Amino acid sequence: MNTVLSRRGLLALGGGLAVAFSLRAEEPARPGSLKGTPSLDAWIRVAPDGRVTVFTGKAELGQGIKTALLQVAAEQLDVPVAHIDLVTADTMRTPNEGFTAGSHSMQDSGTAILNAAAQVRGVLVAAAARDLGVAAETLTTVDGTVHAADGRSAGYGPLAATLNLHIDAEPTSTLKDPSAYRSMGTPMPRVDIPAKLTGGQAYVQDMRLPGMLHARAIRQPSVGAMLLDIDTGPIEAMPGVVTVVRQGSYLAVVARKEWQAVKAMRALEAAAQWRETASLPDQATVLDLLAGLPSRVIPVLDWKGRAGAPMKRLKARYTRPYLMHGAIGPSCAVAQLTDGTMTVWTHTQGVYPLRSALAGLLRMPVDRVHCIHVEGSGCYGHNAADDVAGDAVLIARAVPGHPIRVQWMREQEHTNEPYGAAMIAEVEGAIDAAGNIVDWNYGVWSNTHNRRPNVGGLMLQNAALPDPLPVPPPAPIPMPEGGGERNSNPIYAFPNAKVVSHFIPEMPVRVSALRSLGAYLNVFAIESFMDELAEAANADPVDFRLRHLKDERAKAVVSLAADKFGWGAGKRGEGRGFGFARYKNLGAYCAIALALRVEHETGRIRLGRVVAAVDSGQVVNPDGIRNQIEGAIVQAASWTMYETVRFDRQRILSRDWSGYPILRFPAAPESISVHIVPRPGQPFLGTGEAGQGPMAAAIANAVRDAAGVRLRDVPLSAVRVKAAVGV
């Protein structure tokens, strides 16, 4: 594996080492995930019959990545999509692309496949040129065949049979002219949808392997609970029960049929005696508790420049509670131990890291664990997908040979998934006499946003086992991606700005990655505060944003959303709100304008028209982009209007959808329209997490416009809105 140190890494090293490596760093890096996996045949193989197999280390999470990657490969290879098989994340077959997270799939894998496909096509054309004795430039490719001007042709299959594609990719590729694209940029129906609409096998939950047994794990009722005593005899005698697995405080049951496993699990839960401690914080004061915990200060940026004298200064604090991923389908995995190898079918976002974690949990060599991604219910980050695989392997080890299917129950998913972290942001800003922002001071406080398991100590089961592995301390995700500080760096051009992140290692509640990480709160805070400053400057919120933006693509997105919404024709007080961000300031740009109504009597927010504009760079599947943005808008509406994980000092109280209500159809917006800025030939920009922050801010800004109240604490629940608006 080639490791190319980044410039950032070199700067950190300093001294003589940096000199020694500097020449290496001058070489252009390979694009996307070709950096880590440069061999062309790791990505693309062409069979003698011309059928193409494309490999990706990324996983389909319902974001449509399979379809988009097929479109990319088809485009650059000049092969019909129907002639391509796509293999997704599998530790024995595909490149290691880490996690399918951070809206990186198109940037990493899409870019790798784009370039690998173009280069494979180049290799095939070169071979044809040699065979046909003509110049490569005179050849054209159509549907898996190379054509010469004189009518002769050569199929990809026979050509590939003579070639070695086990060669490293070049740093640069000859890509097609975007104006000639036929597949990329055109809406394509998702390849995974037909099975989902007809009852086909579509999910790991649907797997049925020969000899498969059903298992359920019994979760500790609270963090650190110790299993005191249990008589498993009566449960082992229940119909269909194969065995009860017990290791320390870890308890599970295996049965022939799923309902038998559920009943046995309930009986085990009733029989188990636990010693519990009150280890959770007081929910009412948890944000203050977090703010008071020891934290590590991470400077994000410090801009100093000349600016006008500050005339008005504002200060505000914004917060979000713990939020739940809340997959509709509880997490599921299937595992089977055969011949000393543990095979795991899982909907994890990272098959390779999970493999290491499971190997650690099992005390098995990594190469004896094989993780294969199979789709599950949407996860929206690090939910219970990995942990249920931990159950599957622990139980499968106890029942060798049999595939073991484990699915969590609803209350297990609700109370044991790692939540999105509660957070606080404080911002102070000043405007000058002309109404321009001259000073900006921003601080954010957060736990980690990444406890994804790559070692056994990070698996949920670890604490219940008799000999737990060491648990690594939580670590921040460095900028420019950032964890809690993601998107804390404003995209606006302020002359003076200081941004500091306070990383809090101690986690009163278990947390990890939830879609968009810290960007949800940071964008909510920044974009709310931009409106507060605009109001202080007596400026229109859209104009105010535009005059503080230098990035032309950002301006284009803001303007497009405003135009399509008809912002200019609106009036203050109509319940209009605007929000904008570029995800991580590296990914897609997304602006949202919306209208809503505040019901004074109930405090309920009624969402009207929502208009979004997005710039995702080169578009592959425009309908996929629209679907992702629509989803972000509705999901963020639910987070922003309703959601809070509830707990007492001992247990999580949000045990099902009645205790953690989310948005239902009657409360969905009246309409959503998504407008895409075409950027042919530009790099792909991840889109899956671009809309959440802007939507939250647009809601809060519209509530301010509609009802005259500024709400800075998510959720903007009916009770809070009602308390703020009075009568």
Partner 1 sequence: MIRLTVNGQQHEVDAEADTPLLYVLRDDLGLNGAKFGCGLGQCGACTVLVDGQPVFSCLTPVSVLAERQVRTIEGLGGNAVQRAFEDVQAAQCGYCIAGMVMRATALLEHNPHPHEDEIRAYMSGNLCRCGTHMRILEAVRQAAGQGVKP
Partner 2 sequence: MKLSRALGASVFAAILMTGGCDTVWHPSIPPVAGPAEFPTGQIARGAELAAIGDCSVCHTTEGSRPYASGRGVQTPFGVVYATNITPDPETGIGTWPESAFRRAMREGVDRDGRNLYPVFPYPHFTRATDRDIAALYAFLMTRPAVHADTPPNRLPFPLNQRFVLTGWDHLYLRPGAWQPDPAHDADWNRGAYLVEAVGHCGGCHTPRNVLGAETDGQALAGGEAENWYAPPLQAASPARQGWSVDSLTAYLRTGFDAGHGAAAGPMTAVTAELATVPAADVRAMAVYLTSMMPKPAPAPVVAHAGEDPVFAGACGGCHGPDAPMMRNGAPSLAMSTAVNAPTPRGTIQAILQGLPWREGQAAPYMPPFASVLTDAQIAELAAYLRSAYSDKPAWRDLPAEVARVRGAS
* Residues engaged in binding partner 1 (CB under 8 A): 61-64, 189-190, 192-194, 196-203, 205-206, 208, 214, 239, 257-260, 262, 326-330, 375-378, 380, 407, 409-410, 623, 627-628, 630-638, 656-658, 662-666, 668-669, 671-672
Q: Residue 383: which of 134, 100, 668 has the closest Cα?
A: 100
- Contact letters for partner 2, residues 618-657 (x by CB under 8 A): -----------------------xx---x----x-xxxxx
Rounded distance between C-alpha atoms, residue 598 and residue 611, angstroms: 19
Q: How far is the CB of 303 from partner 2 (least distance, A)?
A: 40
Which entry of partner 2, partner 1, none binds 267, CB below 5 to 8 A by partner kind?
A: partner 2
Q: Which is nearer to partner 2, 283 or 447 (CB)?
A: 283
Which entry of partner 1, partner 2, none binds 701, CB below 5 to 8 A by partner kind?
A: none
Q: Which is nearer to partner 1, 214 or 545 (CB)?
A: 214
Place of tokens 């899982």: 346
The correct pick among 197, 270, 309, 569 for binding partner 2 (CB under 8 A) is 270
Q: What are phi and psi of 97, to 5 degrees?
A: -110, 25
Rounded distance between C-alpha atoms, residue 56 and residue 110, angstroms: 9
The correct pick among 171, 178, 468, 661 for binding partner 2 (CB under 8 A) is 661
Q: How far is the CB of 554 from partner 2 (least distance, A)?
A: 33
Helix-helix angle 718-725:692-707, to 10 degrees = 30
Q: How far is the CB of 691 from partner 1 (least distance, A)?
A: 9
Which entry of partner 2, partner 1, none binds 182, CB below 5 to 8 A by partner kind?
A: none
Q: Which is nearer to partner 2, 111 or 717 (CB)?
A: 717
Q: What is residue 391's three-state secondary structure? A: helix
Decide: 448 and 458 in contact? Cβ < 8 Å. no
Question: Any bridge partners for residue 320, and if so which?
Answer: 423
The correct pick among 171, 248, 659, 683 for binding partner 2 (CB under 8 A) is 659
Which entry of partner 1, partner 2, none binds 604, CB below 5 to 8 A by partner kind?
A: partner 2
The correct pick among 602, 671, 678, 708 for binding partner 2 (CB under 8 A) is 602
Token reading at 667 = 């409360």
- Cα–Cα separations (whole angstroms), residue 348 to 37, 90, 105: 21, 11, 15
Place of tokens 């713990």: 322
Q: Which is nearer to partner 2, 235 or 620 (CB)?
A: 235
Burial of 322 (0-12, 13-18, 19+ CB in 10 A): buried
Q: How far is the CB of 651 from partner 1 (least distance, A)?
A: 18
Rounded distance between C-alpha atoms, residue 33 and residue 45, angstroms: 17
AA letter at 354: L
Hey, how many other C-beta atoms are within 10 angstroms of the C-beta on 298?
19
Q: Which is nearer to partner 2, 330 or 541 (CB)?
A: 330
- Region from 83-91, 329-337, 436-444, 719-727 binding partner 2, contact rule CB under 8 A: 719-727
Residue 155 belongs to what H/E stretch?
Answer: strand 153-155
Q: Which is nearer to partner 2, 660 or 684 (CB)?
A: 660
Which entry of partner 1, partner 2, none binds 24, CB below 5 to 8 A by partner kind?
A: none
Burial of 137 (0-12, 13-18, 19+ CB in 10 A): exposed
Which entry of partner 2, partner 1, none binds 257, CB below 5 to 8 A by partner kind?
A: partner 1
Q: How far is the CB of 278 from partner 2 (least distance, A)?
A: 15
Strands of the sheet containing 369-373, edge to edge, are 241-247, 250-255, 213-218, 404-407, 332-338, 341-346, 369-373
Q: How far is the CB of 658 from partner 1 (least distance, A)?
A: 6
Q: Is 601 in the site for partner 2 (CB under 8 A)?
A: yes
Q: Which is nearer to partner 2, 500 or 706 (CB)?
A: 706
Q: Which is nearer to partner 1, 187 or 478 (CB)?
A: 187
Q: Is 599 in the site for partner 2 (CB under 8 A)?
A: yes
Q: What is residue 454's three-state secondary structure? A: coil
Query: In the window 197-236, what residues touch partner 2 (CB under 8 A)?
Result: 221
Rounded distance between C-alpha atoms, residue 90 and residue 285, angstroms: 44
How many residues sit in the footprint of partner 2 (CB under 8 A)? 33
- Cα–Cα separations (whole angstroms), residue 655 to 39, 250, 511, 515, 603: 47, 20, 17, 21, 25
Q: Residue 391: which of 470, 450, 465, 466 has the closest Cα?
A: 465
Q: How far is the CB of 316 from partner 1 (least distance, A)?
A: 28
Cβ-Cβ contacts under 8 Å for 620 (sequence gap 6 or more): 68, 71, 72, 106, 110, 184, 185, 684
Q: Which is nearer to partner 2, 136 or 718 (CB)?
A: 718
Concatenating the DSSP letter of every residue in 186-227 gives S----TTHHHHHHT-S-SGGG---TT-EEEEEE--SSTT-EE
Q: Is 720 in the site for partner 2 (CB under 8 A)?
A: no
Q: How far is the CB of 668 from partner 2 (least distance, A)?
A: 12
Which entry of partner 1, partner 2, none binds 654, CB below 5 to 8 A by partner kind?
A: partner 2
Query: In the window 405-444, what residues touch partner 2 (CB under 8 A)?
Result: 409, 411
Residues at the interface with partner 2 (CB under 8 A): 221, 266-267, 269-270, 409, 411, 599-602, 604, 641-642, 646, 651, 653-661, 664, 666-667, 717-718, 722, 726-727
